[in-house]
């Protein structure tokens, strides 16, 4: 099996040799499958942001390797290939603070321009990216600074999508949004994935959000990978997850409470639809 992204023994120590030394990643081995949506979860400080910054070479491993399509992203001279920066698109947490151009279109065009694409190709990509994030074409010439927070975030996400990265990584893309804004952004990410077949990594601290859309979940805890697998495989370890201070989906809690009351339902259920099905089957089977 070949993976689009892989880490081997990836270790990141911040402030090595100072009183502030902190191991943010400790010999982490991860495999990301081409075309999957991988949800990355873990409490604050567990190493999620550090991990994803390694995937496009923003950080250099203290130890270990990062492989893109089976090859190290760092060459012998200690440089990260430009290709990596274009193939792995990273949307930072609160990316709206990094907008700087005078129009929305120019801001979105920044990445494609750096890639050295032609004017017409850049135009195509800007229009396409605006469409993906639900920004009306008539807005292209407007200033991004007059937009609402949620709209600014769309512009920032469009700027990364416009590079057509094979891997799109988003760090807490719904942080600070209201429930409607959150659902919209998540639906757009799902749609982007369905339409392009890109590999998507999405960092979140909300199990609820991520479990529904991810093919697999990676649970980080204190610089280590605690669990990795399909949502079902992961939620089968609900006790460990709760013990590590993380939440499980509300419906999984309900099922577990029913288990405690003697009703034998699959404890790894994490969607309301599956729960309804299981409860119905149980009632009919009695
Ligand atoms: N630039 C940095 N310098 C020093 N310590 C850092 C830096 N970035 C993160 N850390 C520390 O590394 C650990 C992991 O942080 P981070 O990767 O941001 O976790 P998460 O995204 O899961 O909240 C935390 O203890 C954090 O304080
Ligand atoms: Mg973070």
Give domain 1-80+166-185+192-245's CATH superfamily.
P-loop containing nucleotide triphosphate hydrolases (3.40.50.300)
Query: Which atom of ligand 1 sits closest to the CA of residue 42?
Result: 22
Helices and strands (H and E) in the chain: how many:
11, 10
- pTM higher than the cut 0.85: yes
Rounded distance from Cα 59 to ligand 1 centre (Å)? 12
Contact 275, 249 (CB under 8 A): no
The residues, ordered by sequence, that sit 6+ positions from 11 with a Cβ below 8 Å of its Cβ are: 23, 25, 26, 27, 28, 61, 62, 63, 64
CB-based contact 9:65 (threshold 8 Å) = yes
CA of 181 to the centre of ligand 2 (A): 20
Residue range(s) occupied by CATH 3.40.50.300 in the chain:
1-80+166-185+192-245
Residue nearest to atom 20 of ligand 1 (CA): 45
> Considering only CA atoms, which residue is closest to atom 4 of ligand 1?
14
Listed residues: CB within 5 A of ion ligand 2: 48-49
| Mean pLDDT computed over 118-127 | 98
Binning pLDDT at 50, 70 and 90, where does residue 1 land? low
Cα(172) to centroid of ligand 1, in Å? 14
pLDDT digits (tens, 9 = 90+) for 75-108: 989 899 888 999 999 999 999 999 999 999 999 9
Q: Is 192 left (phi over 0), alpha (psi -120 to 50) or beta?
A: alpha
Q: Phi-psi region for residue 164, left (φ > 0), alpha (ψ -120 to 50) or beta?
A: left
What value does the mean pLDDT take over residues 176-202?
94
Would you state the pLDDT for residue 84? 93
Mean pLDDT of 62-86: 93
The first and second tokens of residue 160, run together, are 């990364």
Range in 31-45, 166-180, 215-229, 233-247 the model is least confident about: 233-247
Q: Please check whether residue 30 is in contact with residue 225, taking contact to mean a CB–CB distance below 8 angstroms.
A: yes
- Name the phi and psi angles at 191, rounded to 5: -65, -45
Ligand nearest to the CA of 22: 1
User: What gap in Å lies between CA 255 and CA 238, rounded to an integer?
Assistant: 11
Backbone angles phi, psi at 255, to 5 degrees: -60, -40
SS (H, E, C) 7-51: EEEEEEEECCCCCCCEEEEEEEEEEECCCCEEEEECCCCCCHHHH
User: Which atom of ligand 1 lies nearest, measured to the CA of 53?
Assistant: 17
């Amino acid at each position: 099996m070949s993976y689009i992204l892989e880490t081997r023994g990836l270790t990141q120590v911040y402030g090595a040799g100072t009183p502030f030394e902190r191991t943010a990643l400790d010999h982490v081995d991860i495999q990301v499958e081409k075309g999957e949506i991988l949800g990355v979860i873990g409490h604050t400080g567990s190493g999620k942001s550090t991990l994803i910054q390694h995937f496009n070479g923003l950080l250099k491993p203290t130890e270990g390797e990062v492989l893109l399509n089976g090859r190290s992203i760092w060459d012998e001279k200690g440089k990260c290939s430009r290709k990596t920066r274009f193939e792995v698109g990273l949307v930072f947490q609160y990316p709206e603070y990094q907008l700087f151009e005078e129009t929305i279109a120019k801001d979105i065009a920044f990445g494609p321009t750096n890639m050295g694409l032609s004017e017409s190709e850049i135009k195509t990509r800007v229009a396409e990216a605006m469409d993906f994030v639900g920004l009306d074409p008539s807005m292209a010439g407007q200033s991004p600074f007059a937009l609402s927070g949620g709209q600014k975030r769309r512009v920032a996400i469009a700027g990364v999508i416009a590079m057509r990265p094979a891997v799109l990584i988003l760090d807490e893309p719904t942080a600070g949004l209201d429930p409607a804004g959150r659902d919209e952004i998540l639906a757009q990410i799902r749609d982007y994935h369905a339409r392009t077949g890109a590999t998507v990594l999405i960092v979140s601290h909300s199990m609820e959000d991520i479990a529904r859309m991810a093919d697999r979940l990676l649970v980080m805890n204190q610089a280590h990978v605690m669990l990795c697998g399909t949502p079902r495989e992961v939620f089968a370890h609900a006790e460990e997850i709760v013990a590590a201070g993380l939440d499980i989906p509300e419906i999984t809690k309900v099922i577990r409470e029913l288990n405690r009351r003697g009703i034998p339902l699959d404890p790894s259920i994490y969607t309301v639809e599956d729960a309804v099905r299981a409860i119905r089957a149980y009632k009919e089977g009695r």
